[in-house]
Structure 1
Amino acid sequence: MLRENVNDLISFLMVAQERSFTRAAAKLNVSQSALSHAVRGLEERLAVRLLTRTTRNVAPTEAGERLADAIGPHFTAIESELLALGEMRDRPAGNIRISAGEHALDAVLWPALKPFLQRYPDIKVEIIADDSLTDIVSERFDAGIRLGEQIAKDMIAVRIGPDIRLVVAGSPDYLAKNGIPATPQALQRHRCINMRLLTLGGIYAWEFAKDGQEIKVRVDGQVTFNSLRQRIDAASEGLGLTFVPEDAIQEEVANGRLMTVLDEWCPPLSGYYLYYPSRKQHTTAFSLLLEALRYPPPATGG
């Protein structure tokens, strides 16, 4: 019943507000006869008179006043929401929650987000830095950022950064005193700076590959962190070897505070991807962020 009455209810509300079929018809951009027919049909279906008509004016009956007071605010609210949606199209707004590893946040996400947030001031972004493989669905994230090899097959993944490489690094003093490991297994005889995966609570096993052979090595050492910067600093201070993204230690390698070892066992990885559930319906805000992060960025004409 509601579906067949909606347009007629809007017609009635406009007449009740304007106290005139002529003015109401003009506002609704319909003919006066069509408007009168719509209101009359509504009255017949409801079996109650809603308007009192005279040659000079139109006024709601007691039942008409009651109906207008009851439904008028709801139609006003609906109209306001529709207008707001139109404004979102012209000035995108919304909230986005992202789970990202610390290095992904520093190297890829935050550099792209800074101009994005300035361009779209009504889009709010919350980022939780966590190097574990967070379940973005159960934790109510809109998306996550991880290396391509770590993403589940049932997710949609969009590349947002170049290839990266994890490397073993230590200070020249430490390596001079303790020797240079020739194989990944030799790391078990070295002091190493471990990384704890905060969400899962476990210690990360260092992963290597060469000539189709893949090896995971569990190492030990004096200190464990769940943060990247402290692992780099600890290695620079000679506290042991660390396993970190190569681009994160460019400055330390350039100034001689760190050097890398086992390079032949550290092949490039596929880089970072933003991933989200395949059933996710994109908001305008999410779609805009996706395009801002996409790698390589779309070519622009010059």
Structure 2
Amino acid sequence: MRREDLASLVLFLTVAEERSFTRAAVRLGLSQSALSHAMRRLETKLGLRLLTRTTRSVAPTEAGERLIETLRPALDAIDGRIAALTELREKPAGTVRITTPEQPARSILWPALDRLAAAYPDVCVELDLDASLTDIVAGRFDAGVRLGERLERDMIAVPIGPRLRMATVAAPDYLARHGAPATPHDLSRHACINRRMPNGSLYVWEYEKDGRVLNVKVEGRIVVNDVDLILTAARAGHGLAHVVEDRVLTPVADGSLVRLLADWCAPFDGYHLYYPSRRQPSAAFALVLEALRYRDPFA
């Protein structure tokens, strides 16, 4: 196969990953028409239909899916070898792409990367803030951030933060009007501020005490998909909220929110950086990994 054909295969994989000629063209720095022509030339040369095009989306055909299965491991291996060449330099260099929810990006990743940036000017870190369960291989990310309980088995996972707890909170004036729940079973009698998850479902409030797990589907008139807005609504007295503990330390300390059901909120595994087990880490990735690795101050 000629070199220009290899380039066309890379273009095809990008279109298949983005499911859009427009997004793929932006990512590749090409015009949409040039990209479309390149795909038609590739399909003509192979004698196969690789992409199904509609007015709204692009999807790989069965032949396209088979080609993707061949291309991804090969291109990942090439990327790994090229990245390894940076180890020959005096200092690590290269780009590390990480997909992460907003909360750990702000509280864990950014403080570490802020320190790293000054010491290693040739290392570029791209953070893609996304709360959904992104496929890091398909998205060509070097790593992702998830809670320990949501990790996939074929991934290497490194803890980057402490164990966490959830916290149920409410404003003092709400509690003065409605009283406080004694157990999670009492939540059915309270207005609760629901959270819409990235997959469209409503978050089920999770509790545990003495090994007994209790998941509660709460009811309320307010539903949002942003934790800051949930806490704003809670402080305004619209109902109970259930969020990660570190988001309410300040409002609980200043009295604008009151902690409830603390004995039902057991610790759970915190955030981990995860990446494919077959990946050969580059010097830049190894540097970022060590900067983020959690070290228990009490160990």
User: TM (normalized to structure 1)?
Assistant: 0.66
Tell me the distance in 1 between the aligned counterparts of 2:205 and 2:296: 32
Give 2:119's aligned residue. Answer: 119
Matched position secondary structure for 2:132: coil
Give 2:135's aligned residue. Answer: 135
Tell me the distance in 2 between the aligned counterparts of 1:190 and 1:158: 39
Maintained 8 Å contact 2:205/2:216: yes
Tell me the distance in 2 between the aligned counterparts of 1:195 and 1:105: 20
Give 2:233's aligned residue. Answer: 234
Matched position secondary structure for 2:237: coil
User: TM (normalized to structure 2)?
Assistant: 0.67
Tell me the distance in 2 between the aligned counterparts of 1:193 and 1:137: 35
Q: Percent identity?
A: 50
Tell me the distance in 2 between the aligned counterparts of 1:125 and 1:86: 15
Deviation track 1:154-190 (CA, whole Å, cap 9, x = no partner) reads 2111011112111101111111212211222322332
Tell me the distance in 2 between the aligned counterparts of 1:182 and 1:230: 25
Maintained 8 Å contact 1:209/1:265: yes
Q: CA deviation at 1:115?
A: 0.7
Pair 1:215 & 2:217 matched: no
Pair 1:93 & 2:93 matched: yes
Give 1:176's aligned residue. Answer: 176
Maintained 8 Å contact 2:87/2:283: no
Residues 261, 273 of structure 1: alpha-carbon distance in 2 compared, 3 angstrom cutoff: same
Tell me the distance in 1 between the aligned counterparts of 2:183 and 2:232: 24
Q: CA deviation at 1:86?
A: 5.7
Deviation track 1:188-220 (CA, whole Å, cap 9, x = no partner) reads 33222222222x122211111111111211122
Tell me the distance in 2 between the aligned counterparts of 1:216 and 1:139: 32
Runs of 4+ in 1 over 3 A off after TM superposition: 84-88
RMSD of equivalent CA atoms: 2.3
Structure 1 spans left out of the alignment, 5+ residues = 1-81
Residues 94, 226 of structure 1: alpha-carbon distance in 2 compared, 3 angstrom cutoff: farther
Q: CA deviation at 1:89?
A: 2.8
Tell me the distance in 2 between the aligned counterparts of 1:214 and 1:104: 25
Matched position secondary structure for 1:90: coil
Number of matched pairs: 216
Tell me the distance in 1 between the aligned counterparts of 2:276 and 2:87: 27
Tell me the distance in 2 between the aligned counterparts of 1:91 and 1:220: 55
Maintained 8 Å contact 1:102/1:228: no
Give 2:294's aligned residue. Answer: 295
Deviation track 1:79-130 (CA, whole Å, cap 9, x = no partner) reads xxx9x94686323222222122222122211111111122222222222223
Structure 2 spans left out of the alignment, 5+ residues = 1-81
Residues 288, 222 of structure 1: alpha-carbon distance in 2 compared, 3 angstrom cutoff: same
Maintained 8 Å contact 2:194/2:222: yes
Residues 90, 99 of structure 1: alpha-carbon distance in 2 compared, 3 angstrom cutoff: same
Give 1:276's aligned residue. Answer: 275
Matched position secondary structure for 2:181: coil
